[in-house]
Amino acid sequence: MRFALGFRAKRSLGRPQTGPALHLSVTAVSVKKTLITGGSRSRGPLVAWPAVHFAVPFPDFCPYMSVGSFASGVDSKRQRALPVPRANAHMKTFTPDSSIASDVIPSANYGDRPRGRQVDMIVLHYTGMPDVESAVARLCSPGTDVSAHYIVLEDGRIVQCVPEAKRAWHAGVSFWAGEEDVNSCSIGVEIVNSGHDWGYPDFPLRQIAAVIALCRGIMLRLKIPSRRVLAHSDVAPSRKKDPGEKFPWHSLANSGVGHWVQPAPIMHGETLKLGTISGNVESFQQALARYGYGVPVSGRYDSATMEVVTAFQRHFRPARVDGIADQSTLATLHSLLASLPGDGKAAAG
């Protein structure tokens, strides 16, 4: 029996146990960030997790079996099996890169990365569809031209769809810190959530725990800096909102995933907004570009600038998302830049 993350585990009381079916109870404990990668273990410092009880499914314990399942266990009624798109039923599967991915549903939509291209970014998405079945079908079926390396379900299960060595089609037209081909240098993670068009529910704690564990493993394997864990809306601000202002980036950062500072408080004061033309706007645009955003540096607060500011607020100042650069937005951006290592350029690997 192995634990991919060094969780403190105990058998559930009051129910018989058979085989390897253990139920993990996590309750405000420190979790060792112990990730099994390629048969070896990489250990990190202790991380405090939320004071909640939830069952976290791991490959050795997940009671759900499907195409490419790497689970072993019993009690199959506890979790609903994911539908495999008919066109994918006979596709060749592969061994998942992550030790906490319980299943593989291979996607038909991917390509090769450019030779010698290093992966140095993780892009987080929400699926933005009414149910998980629709999301899996869209991400895996031939002809949709979209995919992701991983899908993280609401119950914490992780499904891999594209090998990390391959180029998934998840970011679309995008930009970050001078990079215009984000798909070629990134890992795409789709988080099951219906999104803004379908009610935008909160992200369950067990799902966030799984996202953290998955990202930590990817970062360790591929040596991805924490500041290069980004939102889809960061790299495509004119098109995308995901994973949105409800996504708990602060919780990820507390576990070493993503860049974060405490947002400056919202207060009355001078603002920069649509139509403003000034040297202050130009300085603000330069600061956004220095952090990594694709924004025109013109001194004019145009619609493109407003879209970037909206994306910035969704990620880093979610209490108010209005596209107006108030004092809180400006101060939060400067704090982020000041906390970057080196010369403060996000482009640095």
Contact 161, 151 (CB under 8 A): yes
Please tell us whether the domain made up of 261-349 is placed in CATH 3.30.559.10.
Answer: no
Structure tokens at 248: 């708990």
CA angle 50, 100, 14 (to 5 degrees): 60
H/E segment holding residue 231: strand 229-231
Contact 170, 182 (CB under 8 A): no
Domain boundaries, the chain: 85-254, 261-349
pLDDT tens for the 349 residues of the chain, in order: 333 443 333 333 333 333 333 333 333 333 333 333 333 334 444 344 443 333 333 333 333 334 565 543 334 445 677 767 777 777 889 999 999 999 999 999 999 999 989 999 999 999 999 999 999 999 999 999 999 999 999 999 999 999 999 999 999 999 999 999 999 999 999 999 999 999 999 999 999 999 999 999 999 999 999 999 999 999 999 999 999 999 999 999 999 999 999 999 999 999 999 999 999 999 999 999 999 999 999 999 999 999 999 999 999 999 999 999 999 999 999 999 999 987 554 444 4
What are the catalytic residues?
A: 190
Q: What are phi and psi of 112, to 5 degrees?
A: -85, 145
Q: What is the spatial distance between Cα 168 and Cα 109, in angstroms, rounded to a whole number?
A: 7
Kindly report the CATH number that applies to the domain delimited by 85-254.
3.40.80.10
Instruction: State the pLDDT at residue 342.
Output: 73
Instruction: State the pLDDT at residue 70.
Output: 54
Residue environment code for 255-277, b if the CB has 16+ CB neighbours within 10 A, otherwise e: bbbbbbbebbeeeeeeebeeebe
Q: What is the spatial distance between Cα 311 and Cα 232, in angstroms, rounded to a whole number?
A: 9
Query: Sign of the CA dihedral 330, 335, 338, 341?
Result: negative
Q: What is the spatial distance between Cα 35 and Cα 265, in angstroms, rounded to a whole number?
A: 37
H/E segment holding residue 283: helix 279-291
pTM of structure: 0.79
DSSP labels, 117-166: PPP-EEEEEE--SSSHHHHHHHHHSTTS----SEEE-TTS-EEE-S-TTE
Structure tokens at 70: 């790497």
